[in-house]
């Protein structure tokens, strides 16, 4: 059995506290009654997440954690006490981030990037906000133009630091960021360059989309200056579109399609509405 990840276990027996699940070696773990599906039967294979409760016992849950062991997540701090900060992460027992793992004190109610690992001393899942030391450098895993999953990490003078594929550090330069983003937001991106130090330069669109990105920013600005609404649609007269935006109808449709896919606008019969983050 492995802590901090999903385990496929066989349902061995039902008891008053819940169901006991076993692995191939006969090790068992309790799945509390509140997580038992009414359709569960003996010998069913059940996919569960394993963690330790406040008494150090391994417990199974069917709840979905926001982070797995040796991964990063953007988590909200639910409580701060004498032991450290405790983050909400999708299971009942909050994740402890000890004070020694906080370069700067974490504050209740705020969100932070957290890396979860197994503490060798206690053999429990704990978190750390020292996330830079756990990011890997790219060797040959990625190359230019590869599509990647990114998470917004930190705003800097150079641009936007992002977490790439939950493993690597990347940067979107300020002059290549043509849309609004939020801390912790997950996006699709593309590798622009793999740098000699193993870090990545990232863009949000493949090469060739620069002009559309510029137009997209222009349309967002137009919406913001017009109270979040613009009475233009893909059925509007081409001359009106040209007069008000400076674009052909074809380009206009590409721009609104791009923004719609990014969930930055909603489309209606009478116009376009800006989606507020």
Whether 136 shows a pLDDT value over 60: the answer reads yes
Same fold, 147-203 and 210-274: no
Nearest-Å Rg of the Cα atoms of the chain is 24
Taking residues 263-267, what's their average pLDDT? 90
Q: Confidence band (pLDDT; 50, 70, 90) for 213?
A: low
* Every domain of the chain and the residues it spans: 6-61, 71-133, 147-203, 210-274
Whether 209 shows a pLDDT value over 50: the answer reads no
Query: Do the bridges between strand 28-32 and strand 6-14 make them parallel or antiparallel, or are there none, so unpaired?
Result: unpaired
Q: Confidence band (pLDDT; 50, 70, 90) for 218?
A: confident
Q: Note the pLDDT of residue 207.
A: 62
Which of 2.40.50.140, 3.90.1640.10, 2.130.10.10, 2.30.30.140 is the CATH number of 71-133?
2.40.50.140
Provide the mean pLDDT of the chain: 91
What's the rounded Cα separation, in Å, for the pair 153 and 163?
Answer: 6
Per-residue pLDDT reduced to its tens digit, 142-170: 998 898 999 999 999 999 999 999 999 99
- CATH of the domain spanning 147-203: 2.40.50.140
- Please state, in angstroms and as integers, the Cα–Cα distance from residue 274 to each residue in 178, 232, 233, 254, following that order: 15, 13, 13, 16
How would CATH label the architecture of 210-274? Answer: Orthogonal Bundle (1.10)
Per-residue pLDDT reduced to its tens digit, 13-60: 999 999 999 999 999 999 999 999 999 999 999 999 999 988 889 999
Taking residues 96-122, what's their average pLDDT? 96
Q: Note the pLDDT of residue 73.
A: 96
Phi, psi of 152 (to 5 degrees): -65, 125
Q: Note the pLDDT of residue 212.
A: 53
Lowest model confidence (mean pLDDT) among 26-30, 124-128, 205-209, 212-216: 205-209
Residue 251, classed as helix, strand or coil, is: helix
Q: Note the pLDDT of residue 215.
A: 81
Q: Note the pLDDT of residue 243.
A: 87
Taking residues 238-257, what's their average pLDDT? 88
- Please state, in angstroms and as integers, the Cα–Cα distance from residue 237 to each residue in 115, 122, 197, 252, 253, following that order: 52, 68, 51, 11, 12
What percentage of the chain reaches a pLDDT higher than 70?
A: 97
Q: Which of 64-68, 155-159, 261-265 has the highest mean pLDDT?
A: 64-68
Owner of token pair 């133009």? 145
Per-residue pLDDT reduced to its tens digit, 224-234: 899 999 999 99
Taking residues 52-72, what's their average pLDDT? 94
The pTM assigned to this predicted structure is 0.71
Domain covering 6-61 assigned CATH 2.40.50.140 in the classification? yes
Q: Note the pLDDT of residue 277.
A: 60
Going by C-alpha positions, the residue among 3, 4, 47, 40 that lies closest to residue 19 is 40
């Amino acid at each position: 059995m492995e802590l901090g990840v999903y385990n496929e276990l066989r349902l061995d027996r039902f008891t008053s506290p819940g169901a006991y699940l076993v692995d191939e070696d006969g090790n068992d773990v309790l799945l509390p009654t509140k997580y038992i599906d009414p359709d569960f039967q003996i010998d069913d294979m059940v996919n569960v997440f394993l963690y330790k409760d406040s008494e150090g016992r391994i417990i199974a849950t069917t709840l979905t954690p926001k982070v797995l062991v040796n991964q990063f997540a953007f988590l909200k701090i639910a409580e701060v006490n004498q032991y450290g900060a405790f983050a909400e992460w999708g299971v009942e027992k909050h994740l402890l981030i000890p004070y020694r793992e906080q370069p700067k004190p974490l504050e209740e109610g705020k969100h932070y990037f957290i890396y979860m690992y197994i503490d060798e001393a206690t053999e429990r899942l704990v978190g750390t906000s020292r996330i830079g030391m756990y990011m890997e450098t790219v060797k040959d895993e990625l190359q230019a133009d590869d599509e990647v999953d990114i998470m917004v990490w930190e705003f800097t003078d150079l641009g936007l630091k992002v977490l790439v594929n939950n493993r690597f550090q990347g940067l979107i330069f300020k002059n290549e960021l043509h849309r609004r983003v939020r801390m912790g937001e997950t996006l699709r991106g593309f590798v622009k360059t793999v740098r000699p130090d193993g870090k990545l330069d990232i863009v949000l669109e493949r090469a060739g989309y620069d002009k559309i990105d510029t137009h997209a920013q222009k349309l967002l600005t137009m919406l913001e200056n017009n109270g979040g609404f613009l009475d233009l649609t893909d059925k509007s007269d081409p001359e009106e579109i040209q007069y008000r935006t400076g674009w052909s109808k074809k380009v206009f449709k590409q721009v609104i399609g791009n923004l719609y896919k990014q969930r930055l606008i909603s489309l209606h019969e009478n116009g376009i509405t800006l989606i507020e983050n």
